[in-house]
């Protein structure tokens, strides 16, 4: 009987220790949680310079009016779900549209670039590319409406008004 009581007490102490360590681990992991949303609404996008798939320059100062900007990456299921809605919204808006395809290898981005080409200017860039850094995008997909002065007007496709 004494062994049974000792085993139950030991099991209880180990369970409490496990709970404390798990809570500490969760607290520590939250410190490393990167913001996924990018530049907040009302803030300015950083400067960037890139080229679209047709070789034309793309830079923040060249975005003269409201511009719909979307970030996608191949193999991302939420990106696949958002892509048709982005293309439809881009076609319905009077704004300029820019789509950034994030891919480790350029050939991985070909399918996305082809699907987006009719609706937006397409930039293909690797991890940590200049447009991605300027918008502070840490997770995909991401969509922004940027004013002519570089201010983020909306940070969600559903928040962007249709003309």
Cβ proximity of 71 and 135 under 8 Å: yes
Report the Cα 7 to chain-centroid distance in Å.
Answer: 50
Distances (CA, A) of 29 to 13, 26, 32: 24, 5, 5
Report the Cα 161 to chain-centroid distance in Å.
Answer: 20
On whether the pTM is more than 0.85, the answer is no
List, for residues 24-42, the tens digit of each pLDDT value. Answer: 777 766 554 444 568 999 9
Please list the helix, strand and coil fractions of the chain in percent, rounded to the nearest 5, in that order. Answer: 40, 20, 35
Domain segments of the chain as ranges: 1-33, 49-159
Task: Render each residue's pLDDT in the chain as its tens digit; 163 residues.
Answer: 898 888 888 888 888 888 888 877 777 665 544 445 689 999 999 999 999 999 999 999 998 889 999 999 998 999 999 999 999 998 888 878 999 999 888 788 888 899 998 899 999 999 889 999 999 998 899 999 999 899 999 988 888 877 6
Is the domain covering 49-159 a CATH 3.40.50.2300 domain?
Answer: no
Residue 160 and residue 136: Cα distance in Å, rounded?
19
pLDDT at res. 33: 41
Cβ proximity of 162 and 90 under 8 Å: no
Residue 70 and residue 151: Cα distance in Å, rounded?
15
H helix runs in 32-129, sequence order: 77-92, 110-116
């Amino acid at each position: 009987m004494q062994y049974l009581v000792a085993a139950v007490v030991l099991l209880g102490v180990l369970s409490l220790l496990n709970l404390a360590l798990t809570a500490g681990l969760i607290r520590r992991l939250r410190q490393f949680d990167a913001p996924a949303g990018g530049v907040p609404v009302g803030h300015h996008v950083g400067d960037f310079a890139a080229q679209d798939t047709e070789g034309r320059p793309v830079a923040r100062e060249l975005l003269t009016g409201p511009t719909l900007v979307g970030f996608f990456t191949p193999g991302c299921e939420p990106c696949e779900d958002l892509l048709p809605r982005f293309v439809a919204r881009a076609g319905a808006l009077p704004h300029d549209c820019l789509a950034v395809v994030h891919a480790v290898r350029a050939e991985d981005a070909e399918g996305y670039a082809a699907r987006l080409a009719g609706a937006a200017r397409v930039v293909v860039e690797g991890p940590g590319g200049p447009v991605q850094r300027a918008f502070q995008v840490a997770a995909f997909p991401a969509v922004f409406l940027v004013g002519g002065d570089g201010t983020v007007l909306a940070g969600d496709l559903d928040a962007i008004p249709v003309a």
